Amino acid sequence: MAEIATSKKRGLIGRIGTLLLLVATFAILVSLGTWQMQRLHWKESLLSAMAERRSAPPATLAEIEKILADGGDIDYRTVSVTGGFDHTKERHFFATFNGRTGYYVFTPLRLDDDRFLFVNRGFVPFEQKDASTRLAGELPAFVGVHGLARPKLDGKPSSLVPDNDLAKNIFYWKDLDTMASSVGLPADKVVPLFVDADATPNPGGLPIGGVTQFDLPNNHLQYALTWYGLAAALVLVSGIYAMRRGR
């Protein structure tokens, strides 16, 4: 009798453990689905804000800086600035554009107040990284630039991103402080943001402007349905198993 009682006790403990495991798994699956729904709402809000900002009239740099100083989001806001490019200090960001490998050219624009704003002028092919191969594209001393404000990064976006190669002037992530210091620009003379130039044609052909990416992936609904589907399948399979055990 003692052995039977012990066996029943172990069976009960086993069933309780299985039930707790199923409940925990179900909760995890549902929470993952809910998290993806939250991400979906966030992504939709972001895409809506991007579209609204891109269609707004261009702001001045002073207005963009005020938004930034007040803790607002400046990303993708249209902006117009004037100044003179220092083509001797351009930095190169490794990129692909329309299926081609090359670089985005970041060039400091000297403003009227003697500060510098790094502008992503656009794409050049791999073989034309050297500015001497595209001299016709070096704009005159005073120009107007229209584009989109982009925020300064706080640090490397991921450990998977390679370190920037300063010796070869190849950047794999937009480290504004290093871009500035590597060409001898003091930090207090550099505007703490970037501007992506628009697609206004360059008279010299290169760089090709308008390289900002807007097609952000938005698969969160699909992921949410997958997690919720797995949770439902778990309940269904568990219910069928319990019914068969009951018979």
The verdict on pTM exceeding 0.85 is: no
Cβ 231 vs Cβ 30: under 8 Å? yes
Cβ 55 vs Cβ 76: under 8 Å? no
| Percentage of residues in the chain having pLDDT higher than 70 | 91
Name residues whose C-beta falls within 8 Å of residue 200's C-beta, 6 or more positions apart in sequence: 146, 209, 210
Question: Is the pLDDT reported for residue 4 higher than 60?
Answer: no
Arithmetic mean of pLDDT over the chain: 85
Question: Is the pLDDT reported for residue 5 higher than 70?
Answer: no
Q: What is the mean pLDDT of residues 80-93?
A: 93
123 or 203, greater pLDDT: 123
